[in-house]
Amino acid sequence: MTAFEKISFPGVKKVIVVASGKGGVGKSTVSVNLSVALARQGHKVALVDADIYGPSIPKMLGIDNERPLVSTSGEKEIMLPVEKFGVKIMSIGFFVTKSQGLIWRGPMAANAMTQLFENTQWGDIDYMIVDFPPGTGDIQLTTIQKINLAGVILVTTPQEIALNDARKAASMFLNPDLNVPLLGVIENMSWFTPKQHPDEKYYIFGKDGGAVLAKELNTKLLGQIPLVAEVGELAEKGHSVFGQTDQAVIKAFEKIAEDNM
């Protein structure tokens, strides 16, 4: 494989990508709340929305009307990330209108994503969390080639169709030419517990699929996140899970951040 010049992040200690094989498994929700959990534990955290075609993180954090400050250093424009919940955030969503769809070929999208990384003044960061788009396309390949990654976290639901797509994503990261360390699997939407029956669990999408996948890939099951309607409702309003009443979800993210990062 051709060697690529790596982007230098002098103050960034670890870059971790959050990936999935398909959309709709809660990958961005995991990226946001894992970032906030790490920040709540005293770490310096950055979050990069690398889903160029469908950036959702500004909306999920209630900052979709914010715009990063831009200054000039020589001939280069430098952007300051937007901050929320103690996390420094950068997304292409800050630079396009809500109704604007990006009609870009892969190389153009990859170039835009590279600029988000390279032209942002990050400062000192313990963990940079990168929210990948679903699948195994140009954005993923460009990031792997141009950034020194500490590893990847795979997000899946327990459904077999989601597990199959997660396996395909894992095969890309584990390809000998790319060889990105697999840090573990997070199973989202693991079960549903009605508020009226807090001791009951309903496995709507199947049971323990994430554990099976982790075992197949010889990696860890980092955590299981229950399905709670309030999580989606809060994201629509720009709040993290830490503003909700369901302690199971809060504890799940806190445990993942504390035990595995």
Positions of the chain with pLDDT lower than 50, given as ranges: 1
Pairing of strands 12-19, 151-156: parallel
Query: What is the β-pairing status of strands 45-49 and 87-91?
Result: parallel
Instruction: Please report, as a single letter, which amino acid is at residue 33.
Output: N
Q: What is the pLDDT of residue 142?
A: 87
For residue 227, give both structure tokens: 């399905």
Backbone φ and ψ of 18, nearest 5°: -110, 120
Q: Confirm if 61 and 238 have CB atoms less than 8 A apart.
A: yes
Q: What is the pLDDT of residue 1?
A: 46
pTM of the full structure: 0.90
Token pair belonging to 209: 């699929």
Pairing of strands 151-156, 45-49: unpaired
Are 56 and 93 contacting, i.e. CB atoms less than 8 angstroms apart? yes
Q: Which tokens hold the place of 25?
A: 């498994």
> Which residue stretches of the chain are H helix?
27-40, 57-60, 106-118, 138-146, 160-173, 209-216, 229-236, 247-260
196 contact partners, CB below 8 Å, separation of at least 6: none
Ramachandran sector of residue 188 (left: φ over 0; alpha: ψ -120 to 50; beta: rest):
beta
How far, in Å, CA of 254 to CA of 260, rounded? 10
Q: For the CA atoms of 227, 45, 222, 170, what is the dihedral angle to 10 degrees?
A: 100
Catalogue the long-range contacts made by 200-207 (C-beta closer than 8 Å, 24 or more residues apart): 201/226, 203/158, 205/157, 205/158, 205/159, 205/162, 206/158, 206/159, 206/160, 207/158
- Domains of the chain, with CATH numbers? 21-260 (3.40.50.300)
- With CA atoms as reference, report the closest residue to 43 among 7, 8, 88: 88
Number of Cβ within 10 Å of residue 35's Cβ equals: 32
Token couple for 71:
């200054």
